Amino acid sequence: MHDHNDILKKVKNELPDDELLCDLADLYKIFGDTTRIKIMYALFEEELCVCAIADLLGMTQSAISHQLKILKDADLVANRREGKTIYYHLSDDHVRSIIAQGFDHLTEEHED
Amino acid sequence: MHDHNDILKKVKNELPDDELLCDLADLYKIFGDTTRIKIMYALFEEELCVCAIADLLGMTQSAISHQLKILKDADLVANRREGKTIYYHLSDDHVRSIIAQGFDHLTEEHED
DNA sequence: TGAACATATGAATAATTGTTCAAGTGAAGG
DNA sequence: CCTTCACTTGAACAATTATTCATATGTTCA
């Protein structure tokens, strides 16, 4: 291996804690699934109940419920109960801005 | 299932194409791995060759090379050759801003 | 209390994916 | 040329994960 100790020392200091980088990866992992992206997108406009989301995406209630749990555990969505129905909504605007940022990258031109 | 046809019609219209949502999920999938996050972070400061990154992260060249290919295919990093050595760097500022956005969410307080 | 409804949960399966190992490029230098 | 060095690539294995199916929770209303 060729020498690059000086650069490594410098870069090593700039790297955040392993734990933080891991948390960051875990957060993005949640955005890395089409079903969850669709759920979040659906909640852009207004709160929806579980079966409405299931209906919208053409998937089972169970599958949606599993994904909603993941989103809730990550504080990306929250819910409220109204009788038998549970309505989900985005918990803050980060979801919107994170998704918007992704769009920026996708729609940007890349010359080759 | 209870009725919510009116809401569904409205939300359905707002949802982007399936293909776009899929591409978006694929993009975030790339950020959803600790190794790749670390690689991108390491490249924040300056370009690095493959074995420097491997050394920094304490991983094999092969593992890093595989991940660099994924990052390159997604236009997140680019490289240049100098003799036997290949230097990688971030291809644009989107990487920085996407990661920064993630940090925002992680470091924000969530009252319960 | 009991039936019906909306949702949650657990276990199982199938598919995806990160790392390793072994072999393959391609450039530099004797 | 032939070797060495930096890196890439492909196949295989292990680990993770999304969905399904069956069952459980909790609320409403008769």
Contact A41 B8 (CB under 8 A): no
Phi first, then psi, for residue B79 (nearest 5°) are -140, 165
- Residues in contact with A54: Cβ distance below 8 Å, sequence separation at least 6, in sequence order: A60, A61, A63, A64
Contact A44 B14 (CB under 8 A): yes
Residue of B nearest to A110 (CA): B75
Chain A residues with CB-CB distance to B99 below 8 A: 24
Cα B40–A23–A94 angle (5° rounding)? 90
Bases along strand C below 7 A from a protein CB: 5-11, 17-23, 26-28
Average pLDDT, chain B: 92
- Report the distance separating Cα A14 and Cα A9, nearest Å: 9
Mean pLDDT by 10 residues, chain A (112 residues): 83 92 97 97 95 96 98 96 96 91 80 42
pLDDT in tens, B83-102: 999 999 999 888 999 998 89
